[in-house]
A and B are shown apart, each in its own frame.
Chain A
Amino acid sequence: DAKTTQPPSMDCAEGRAANLPCNHSTISGNEYVYWYRQIHSQGPQYIIHGLKNNETNEMASLIITEDRKSSTLILPHATLRDTAVYYCIVPREGTYKYIFGTGTRLKVLA
């Protein structure tokens, strides 16, 4: 079973920030949180990952709570091309396997 839970869907207005939450309450101390997105009929695209500290790259920001039980992916200025299913993943400790949950289907509205 996936170690994460996410809301099934969200809408966001174009140009606004999209904040996608993820719950990973059973995460252990050395496990990273990874975010990917999948646009229809394509392979998942890596976005960002983190352990404890907040992270930012050219695509997004990742905010991890102090207790590490949840995180939020932030797309600062969503565009129509950001419409996709977003997956938050905590690999199985020791195996590094990704077990995908259902993800959040983000729809960016014009």
Chain B
Amino acid sequence: GAVVSQHPSWVICKSGTSVKIECRSLDFQATTMFWYRQFPKQSLMLMATSNEGSKATYEQGVEKDKFLINHASLTLSTLTVTSAHPEDSSFYICSAGAAGGRDTQYFGPGTRLTVL
């Protein structure tokens, strides 16, 4: 149990385009999902908290208009990187927990984004 998937696992796009990444909890309902970014040889950095049916909350320094988050159902959250640029190239990882995030979080396998 407690499986979280992400799609796609990798994506390459041209500068200026938008990319959507999906995060799904496969065997449990997740009222809260989290999005992280990880640059090479660095730790995970929390970007935002995604709450089902309400607006996401963003960490300081993360542009909410650039990283659009939608949590439309209890099993799906999406992260859209708008007008992507090479500096947005990174490993994007989501996590999901039941009980409004108070429970153990389970992580997806990650999505590697490369912006040319």
Residues on A facing B (Cβ under 8 Å)? 34, 36, 38, 41-46, 49, 87, 95-103
Contacts and interface: CB of A to CB of B under 8 A. Distances in A.
B102 A96 contact: yes
Contacts of A34: 104-105
B91 interface: yes
Interface in B1-25: 2, 4, 6
Interface residues of B, number: 26
Interface string B87-116: 000010101010011101111111010000
Nearest to B110: A43
B97 A100 contact: no
B108 A43 contact: yes
CB-CB nearest 6 A-B residue pairs: A43-B107, A96-B101, A100-B44, A100-B43, A44-B107, A43-B110
Contacts of B44: 38, 44, 98, 100
B67 interface: no
B72 interface: no
B104 A49 contact: yes
B46 interface: yes
A66 to B, nearest CB: 24
Given A41-B91, A42-B110, A98 B43 contact: no
B49 interface: yes
A84 to B, nearest CB: 13
Contacts of A97: 34, 46, 49, 101
B45 interface: yes
